[in-house]
Amino acid sequence: MPVTRASGIQNYKTDGSNYIPDVYAKKLIRKFYAKSVFPSICNTDYEGLIKAQGDTVKIPQRGNVVISDYEIGGGLGTAQRPSKAGVTLNIDQAKYYNIGISSVDQTQSHIGLKDENEDDAVKNMAIAIDTDILANVFTDVASSNAGTTAGLISGDIDLGEAAGAIVLTKDNILEYVMNHMLVLDEANVDEDGRCIVLPKWACMRIKLSDLKDASITGDAVTPLRNGLTGKIDRCEIYASNLLDVSSGEFNVIAGHPTGMTFASQLVENRIIPDQNDFQDLLQGLQVYGYKVTNDVAVTHGVIKKAENLPAAMLNEEIATPELPTSSN
C-alpha cells in the first residue's frame, strides 16, 4: 500500500513523470537446483592430469599377493611378481553452453544478466554431468555385486534387477540399505566412507521407518524431526532426483569412493562479442570422464515404489454383514 496523500498533493509515482520509478529486486528468485552427488561418492585423484577432451589417464592397479604355507627346509619357491592390468580413464565426454546477451537488454536490465545466466549455466552443467554418470556407471559393476544373487561369498543377496525390482516401503528400506553393505562386506571393501544414492522418495521412507525412533538411532532428535537422512550403519545416505529411471524402476548405486573415479575440467569459459549482432556470447566447454576402477567396491540394485491401490478400491464402501434373524 502506498503512503496516503492529502488532497491536491502531486503524485509523482502515477502522473507519468517517472520521478519515482518502480524498484525491482537485484537478484532473481532463487532457483532450486537438483543436487549433484557424484563428486561426493567417488574419488577425483586424477583430475589434475587432464587438460582437454581426448586425454587419457593410465591408472595402475595393485596386484594380489599369494600367501603360501611354510615348512622347515621346504624353501620359499619362486619369488612372486604381483601384477594386475591397469585401468584407463578416458576423458571422452564434453558438454557446452552458448548464451547470447543483447547489449540493449544488458544495459537496460535491473539485474546482472551475464552473472545470472553464467551462474545458472554452471549449476545446470553439474546436473547434466551427474545425470549422465548415474545413468551409465552401474553397468560396470561386478556381477557378484548386483542383481538378485549378489554377494561374493553367499550369492543370495537380493538387490533387485530390471526383471525383479525390489518394492521399497518404510518396512523394508533399512534392510535394503544393509543388504548393499553386506555385499560390500563380502568383498572386503573398506568400511569408512561407504555411501548409497537413493531417490528422494526412498529417503522419505527411511524417515518414516523405525529410524523415526530416536532411541534406535542414538540421536537426540529423530530424522523425521530434523529432516536429515544422515547415516545408516557405516553408510552415508545421498538423496538425488537424478538417478536413472525406466518404467518406474530406479537404478541404485552404493559403494566406496575407491571404486569409482571422476575427472572434469572446464577448458573454456569466455565472454566474446557476437560479430553478427549487438550482443555478447557467454560460452563454456567442460570435458570429463568417469570409470569404475574396482568393480567389487560398487553395488547396483533396482527398486520401485509400492503400487497405489486403485481409486475404486479406496472409495468402495464395505457392506455391513447381515445379521441372522431370530427364529422365535
Going by pLDDT thresholds of 50, 70 and 90, the confidence category of residue 323 is very low
Domain locations in the chain as residue ranges:
43-60+85-307
β-pairing, 194-199 with 249-255? antiparallel
Q: Residue 276 has what DSSP assignment?
A: T
Per-residue model confidence as pLDDT tens digits over 66-95: 888 988 988 888 999 887 787 888 889 999
Backbone angles phi, psi at 114, to 5 degrees: -65, -50
Please state, in angstroms and rounded to a whole number, the distance separating the CA atoms of residues 105 and 242.
Answer: 34
Per-residue model confidence as pLDDT tens digits over 214-259: 445 555 555 544 444 678 888 999 999 999 999 999 999 999 999 9
Q: Residue 145 has what DSSP assignment?
A: G
Would you state the pLDDT for residue 175? 94
pLDDT reading at 186 higher than 70: yes
Per the structure block, which three cell numbers stand in for 321? 454383514
Give the mean pLDDT of the chain.
Answer: 80
Please state, in angstroms and rounded to a whole number, the distance separating the CA atoms of residues 119 and 117.
Answer: 5
Nearest to 285 by CA among 273, 269, 306: 269
State the first-to-last Cα distance of the chain, in angstroms, to the nearest integer.
79
Please state, in angstroms and rounded to a whole number, the distance separating the CA atoms of residues 232 and 224.
Answer: 14
Average pLDDT for 180-188:
97
Q: Which residues contact 323 (CB under 8 A, 6 or more apart)?
A: none
For the chain, percent of residues with pLDDT exceeding 70 = 76
Which single residue is written with the C-alpha cell 553386506?
182
Per-residue model confidence as pLDDT tens digits over 127-166: 999 999 999 999 999 999 999 999 999 999 999 999 999 9
Please check whether residue 179 is in contact with residue 159, taking contact to mean a CB–CB distance below 8 angstroms.
Answer: yes
Would you state the pLDDT for residue 187? 97
Please state, in angstroms and rounded to a whole number, the distance separating the CA atoms of residues 159 and 82.
Answer: 33
Backbone angles phi, psi at 38, to 5 degrees: -60, -40
Per-residue model confidence as pLDDT tens digits over 258-276: 999 998 888 888 889 988 8
Per-residue model confidence as pLDDT tens digits over 304-322: 998 753 444 334 433 334 4
Which single residue is written with the C-alpha cell 550482443?
279
SS3 290: strand
SS3 125: helix
Cα separations (Å) of 87 from 46, 56, 90, 117? 12, 10, 10, 38
Cα separations (Å) of 219 from 74, 85, 235? 57, 45, 16
Residue type, 65: V
CATH architecture of the region 43-60+85-307: Alpha-Beta Complex (3.90)
Please state, in angstroms and rounded to a whole number, the distance separating the CA atoms of residues 292 and 294.
Answer: 6
Nearest to 288 by CA among 77, 91, 40: 91
In 202-238, which positions are buried (b, 16+ CB within 10 angstroms) versus exposed (e)?
A: bbbbbbebebeeeeebeeeebbbeeeebeebebbbbb
